[in-house]
């Protein structure tokens, strides 16, 4: 087998892995969007679809990992290509976890549909989820375009997600204090909000991996964080997730 043929075959392997990452990213974007819509509309059927599709996301992560390991074993990639393969493995793991959080949102939708509605909260959560979905779309663009500046912009946007979470959290506390009947639905909604905030953290991790892929260095500056609830002494410990 000629060297040119080996190189061409290796390039095809890398292209296949990257195409799988983009496919997985699209599936996760859809999961976030559908989970948030199902929550707002109390659509249990759509929520069940989100839960059912999560296995396909998990399976694709497994395929990506297997293909990456095969390439590592057979190709002995040079430093830059090795960096690409390691980045792909980490990005797919983050995407899988985001998919899990979307699935968890869909699970709680089924519970919340049996409880009294909390005014405005599902709409606020959907706006927050839409922002995370936008971050994910941009970070996948940054990955495919190898755009460090776009990846850094995504990292900065995570602070907006944290601030949205803080505002929603305070609203839930107010609702629970005003009417004890709001406690149970607000607790479920709070976990959805926190999971959505964590999705933003995972998208930020993907952005950091994009920067590593392009520059060879993980950003060493501290992430801009705006989640104040985990350290606020006025917040009950059981609500500090």
- Six token digits for residue 4: 């040119």
Coil, strand or helix at 136: helix
Query: What percent of the chain is modeled with pLDDT above 90?
Result: 67
Q: How far is CA 55 from CA 49, 63, 79, 83, 200, in A?
A: 11, 12, 33, 28, 22
What whole-number distance in Å separates Cα of residue 39 and Cα of residue 109? Answer: 5
Q: How far is CA 158 from CA 21, 103, 121, in A?
A: 22, 21, 20
Whole-number pLDDT of residue 76: 77
Q: How far is CA 91 from CA 6, 62, 86, 97, 173, in A?
A: 26, 12, 9, 10, 35
Banded model confidence at residue 20, pLDDT cuts 50, 70, 90 = very high
For 121-180, how does the pLDDT look when each residue is reduced to its tens digit (9 = 90+)? 888 899 999 999 999 999 999 999 999 999 999 999 999 999 999 999 999 999 999 988
Would you say residue 240 has pLDDT above 60?
A: no
**109 vs 231, residue with greater confidence:** 109
Whole-number pLDDT of residue 140: 97
Domain ranges, ordered by start, for the chain: 3-239
What whole-number distance in Å separates Cα of residue 228 and Cα of residue 166? Answer: 7
Q: How far is CA 116 from CA 45, 84, 151, in A?
A: 19, 48, 40
Would you say residue 234 has pLDDT above 80?
A: no
Alpha helices (H) along the chain: 3-41, 44-75, 79-112, 121-145, 148-178, 183-215
What's the pTM?
0.87
Would you say residue 236 has pLDDT above 80?
A: no
Would you say residue 202 has pLDDT above 70?
A: yes
Q: How far is CA 108 from CA 50, 97, 102, 119, in A?
A: 12, 17, 10, 17
Burial of 229: CB neighbours in 10 Å, binned 0-12, 13-18, 19+? buried
Look-up of token digits 């706006």? 127
Whole-number pLDDT of residue 2: 45
Q: Could you say which DSSP state residue 221 is in?
A: S
Q: Which phi and psi (to 5°) does residue 78 adopt? A: -70, 175
Name the architecture of domain 3-239.
Answer: Up-down Bundle (1.20)
């Amino acid at each position: 087998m000629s060297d040119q043929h080996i190189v061409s075959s290796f390039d095809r392997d890398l292209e296949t892995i990257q195409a799988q990452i983009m496919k997985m990213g699209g599936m996760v974007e859809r999961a976030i969007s559908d989970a948030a819509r199902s929550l707002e509309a109390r659509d249990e059927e759509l929520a069940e679809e989100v839960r059912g599709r999560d296995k396909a996301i998990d399976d694709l992560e497994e395929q990506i990992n297997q293909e990456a390991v095969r390439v590592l074993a057979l190709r002995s990639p040079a430093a830059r290509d090795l960096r690409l393969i390691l980045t792909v493995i980490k990005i797919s793991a983050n995407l899988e976890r985001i998919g899990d959080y979307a699935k968890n949102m869909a699970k709680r939708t089924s519970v919340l549909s049996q409880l009294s509605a909390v005014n405005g909260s599902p709409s606020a959560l959907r706006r927050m989820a839409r922002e995370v979905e936008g971050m994910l779309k941009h970070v996948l663009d940054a990955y495919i375009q190898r755009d460090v500046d776009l990846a850094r912009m995504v990292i900065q946007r995570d602070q907006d997600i944290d601030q949205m979470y803080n505002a929603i959290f305070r609203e839930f506390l107010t609702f629970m204090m005003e009417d004890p009947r709001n406690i149970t639905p607000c607790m479920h909604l709070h976990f959805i909000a926190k999971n959505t905030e964590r999705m933003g953290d995972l998208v930020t991790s993907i952005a950091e991996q994009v920067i590593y892929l392009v520059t060879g260095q993980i950003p060493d500056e501290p992430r801009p964080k705006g989640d104040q609830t985990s350290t606020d002494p006025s917040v009950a410990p059981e609500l500090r997730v």
